[in-house]
Amino acid sequence: MKPPKIPRSVLVMIHTPDMQFLLLKRVCKNEFDCDFWQSVTGSLDFEDELPSVAARRELFEETGLRAEDYIFRDLAQTTEYEIVPEWRYRYAAGVTHNTEYQFALCVPETTVTVRLAQTEHTEVQWLLAREAAD
């Protein structure tokens, strides 16, 4: 049995200098994942893992991009949100909220080679900031 997920995660927004953002389409594993687009995300693997280390790891695992090859920034922002009830079984009993640490990666253009983790994502798209936010 897998240990419970740690209720701390990272978000890495990949963008170009002209503010086009990369979104990844999630693999459809259940009704909540289907047709869901997102930035790079992931949970910390262990309690004392630094969010910046987790962000670099998730970035590479999900896209094949390495933070050290581009401009990688810790945005020094966090968001606390309620965990969707249908996903709470992944966490320890009584855990209802997650803290997400935010990072950004600036790549020079939308033609960077993105290698998707086939178990997590199926497609990529680049959108202008306003479209990506929607």
String of DSSP letters for 33-95: TTT-EE-EEEE-SSTT--HHHHHHHHHHHHH---GGGSEEEEEEEEEEEEPPGGGGGGB-TT-
Give the DSSP H/E element, type plus range, for residue 130. helix 129-133
Percent of the chain beyond pLDDT 70? 96
For residue 55, give the nearest of 115, 10, 104, 7 by alpha carbon.
10
The pLDDT tens digits for 56-110 are 999 999 999 999 999 999 999 999 999 999 889 999 999 999 999 999 999 999 9
> Is pLDDT of 124 > 80?
yes
Using 50, 70 and 90 to split pLDDT, how confident is the model at 31?
Answer: low
For residue 132, give the nearest of 27, 9, 29, 14 by alpha carbon.
14
Averaged over 30-36, what is the pLDDT?
Answer: 70
| Residue-level pLDDT at 2 | 84
Asked whether 26 and 124 are in contact (CB, 8 A), the reply is no
> Taking the model in full, what pTM does it have?
0.92
